Amino acid sequence: MNIKQLFELQKQFENKASLISGVEETALGEDNVLNVRTLAIQVKFGELANLTKCYKYLKDVTEIPKNKILFRYIEGMIYLLSLGNKYNLNVIDDYAFQNVKTSEDLIVNFSCLYEKLIDLKRTLEKDRYVEALQHYIHMFAVYIQLGRLLNIEYDEAITYFNDMSYTA
């Protein structure tokens, strides 16, 4: 895995998209950038959770097509990488995730993602960079674990991510 390469690919993609669209991220106001990004990630996490139906009681979930799960998963990863680039949390390397504890339960991981995202937002608002970086690392590690629980191999996700980056 090469997380630094992913951050760079995401940055290149965003630069291209910005040039093409001509729309500045601050169009909704500089003060709203963090709120908009946080909401966008929450939506992407929610779309993935909804696809898995892991929160439904007594629901017989049929096999979900792998490509749908992979697509939603990569969308969330793109938003995580983008957030890391925006707030200079992209200084992490592949070893940052090694000692982070994660769960084997989908619901616990989804809940943790939301909690860590709010923690991250609060620390960024208070300019507490080191604490924000810790929350970001934990959130990213949980997201990688979530992929494992959804039977997405990391290399498979990276290949799909690269394909999406080059075709966009």
- Rounded Cα–Cα distance for residues 8 and 27 (Å): 24
For 22: left if phi > 0, alpha if psi spans -120 to 50, otherwise beta; the answer is: left
DSSP state of 8: H
Domain boundaries, the chain: 3-167
Tell me the whole-structure pTM to 2 decimals. Answer: 0.87
Long-range contacts of 43-52 (CB under 8 A, 24+ apart): 44/72, 44/75, 44/76, 44/79, 45/76, 45/110, 45/113, 45/114, 45/117, 47/72, 47/75, 48/72, 48/73, 48/75, 48/76, 48/110, 48/146, 49/110, 52/106, 52/150
**pLDDT for res 156:** 84
Is 78:140 a contact under the CB 8 Å cutoff? no
Is 167's pLDDT higher than 70? no
How high is the pLDDT of residue 58?
A: 57
Using the predicted structure, report yes or no on whether residue 8 has a pLDDT greater than 60.
Answer: yes
Q: 106 is written with which tokens?
A: 């989908």
High-pLDDT (> 90) share of the chain, %: 52
Q: What is the reported pLDDT for 64?
A: 83
pLDDT-based confidence at 1, cuts 50/70/90? low
Is 80 exceeded by the pLDDT of residue 126? yes
DSSP-assigned letter for residue 106: H
Report d(CA 6, CA 153) in Å as an integer.
16
Say whether pLDDT at 41 is over 90.
yes
Residues 16-21 have a mean pLDDT of 70
Query: Over the stretch 128-149, which tens digit does the pLDDT of each residue have?
Result: 999 999 999 999 999 999 998 9
Calculate ∠ Cα 141-146-147, nearest 5°: 100
